[in-house]
Structure 1
Amino acid sequence: MDADAFRSPEGRGMNIRFKITQRLLGSIQEDLRRPHAVAHERVGFISAGLAAAHDELLILARDYHLVDDAQYLDDRSVGAMIDASAIRAARQWAMNSRSAIFHVHSHGGRGVPGFSSVDNRENAKFIPNFVSVAPFAVHGAIVLSDTAAFGQVWLSRDKSRPFITTFNAIGAPIRTWRAA
């Protein structure tokens, strides 16, 4: 399916929903809590399928890939910095699986988190590269807290980047939170 099927003009008025199973979310949160020798936090990548109708975009989380310990750089100016091989591996995953890819990390705490200025700067540098190598899907970034999430979707390299409207964690009990 062509990526344009997921795009309304400039992303305005689009209802973007992200669904993930409680099991997958729990394993992601568990991985992101693990300490690392040089990084203050961990990062990973979520693959997702997409479904669209009119101005609705549904993102269905499928799988998670952690970043190997050796792919973290010793950069104390940020919570975590990963090397180019980690980004290349995630880009290859997007191309091979024809999946949407979402960079994910956690700020911990409770309530709906937000991106830091570092997150915004770094996301704007590397998420557009996913769009270049896998233009058949939208891609993005998500930050988790212990109880909620916040995310953004890149519709193209240079168009607007709308926020994910609703997150649903499916399982018992079902959890829903509005993030935008």
Structure 2
Amino acid sequence: MSSPTPHPGNMYAGERDNVAALKAAYPYQFTEPNSWSYSWPDGWHHLVEEACAGLSRLNPDSRWVQIKEKYGGLRLYHAGGPLRLDLHTRAGFHSFSVKREDGPTQPPKLLELIASLEETSLETCCLCGGVHGSGRGITVGGWVITACETCEPLIRAHRALPYGER
């Protein structure tokens, strides 16, 4: 029996394959046993691929603790990386980082790459990856995501489905 065709607005339709491909290419970077540790929208997969290549090149002994979407942006947490706090207030979203004093020094180029990729995700549609245009922050049922004008109605339609039908 074949699995049903994913809804065209399901921005996580390729998640299992995307994670498996990167675990195969960079097995030492993906050591967390929890499946929820690595979950990013399909449209940002190219950004995560770039992050993995950068981690391999700039700090080959490190690994990913968590990769996810949060407040409409990509979050890349690696072992020994800075401690982070993300807040959502009436004034908007705020992210704070604190350098860890207890771990190894992180290569500045790695921290710059991660910051750049996270920033890029805020303007990259989480469904199409920018194929249809630039993304912008939107709210869908209390969930902040980044979507282009073409993909926004698809994502809204998918999120409107009952939970068991997504």
* TM-score under structure 1 length normalisation: 0.23
Structure with greater Cα Rg: 2
Greater strand share, 1 or 2?
A: 1
Q: 1 or 2, which has the higher helix percentage?
A: 2
Relative to the length of structure 2, the TM-score reads 0.25
